[in-house]
Amino acid sequence: MRKLCLLLLALGAAPMSAQAQAQTATPAPVVAPAPADPADVGSEDAIMAALYDVISGDKGVTRDWARMASLFHPSARLIPTSRGDTGPARARALTVAEYRVGSSPILEGEGFHEVEIARKTQRFGNILHVWSTYAGRHSLSDAEPFLRGINSIQLLNDGERFWILSIAWSQETPTNPIPAEYLPAAQ
């Protein structure tokens, strides 16, 4: 459990070498994703369910990365954040393709099920900001989650479908517990 948590944190917080920083200075080309299943992108609830479904699976189960990409706007970013015991908080912005390369060995090698346990949504016009609290388990049969956190998700409704514009997330730690207002009422 601790190994997966550390690997996920490392993915988001690993300091980048000067060469890697120089390579990421040029924006990646925007590539249109495969068409999405209308059932996945027809509403806020649908795209949120599809997001959690596509990232989750047992050990050894390959994720449907084409489906995942279809949920995201072509210029979307996934942004893991972390904070060590000392120093500033860190963030690393990844494309969907970069996330896939870095995460698939961990997700598929260890098994990972991310389940939404609470949600708060703010709307203005065609944009939505979703605070989605999650619990992570290696297997759905695990009695307790090995991690929890909050996804900050920005969505766009373009009039035809919902798109994920970005996801920034932070895991709960002993020094950064999830506030009560972001937990289900029973917790």
Mind listing the domains of the chain with CATH numbers?
2-12+34-179 (3.10.450.50)
Q: Is the dihedral of CA 140, 144, 147, 148 positive or negative?
A: positive
| Predicted local confidence at residue 84, as pLDDT | 73
Give CA–CA dist 99/92, Å, rounded. Answer: 10
Number of neighbouring beta carbons within 10 Å of residue 83: 16
- Reported pTM: 0.82
Structure tokens at 86: 């000392």
CA neighbor of 12 nearest in space, from 89, 85, 67, 75: 89
Taking the chain (187 residues) in runs of 10, the rounded mean pLDDT of each run is: 42 39 49 85 98 97 96 97 84 96 95 98 98 97 97 98 98 93 82
At 148, list the tokens. Answer: 């929890």
Percent helix, percent strand, percent coil in the chain, to nearest 5: 30, 35, 35
Please name the residues in contact with 131: beta carbons below 8 A apart, sequence gap of 6 or more. 119, 120, 121, 150, 151, 152, 153, 182
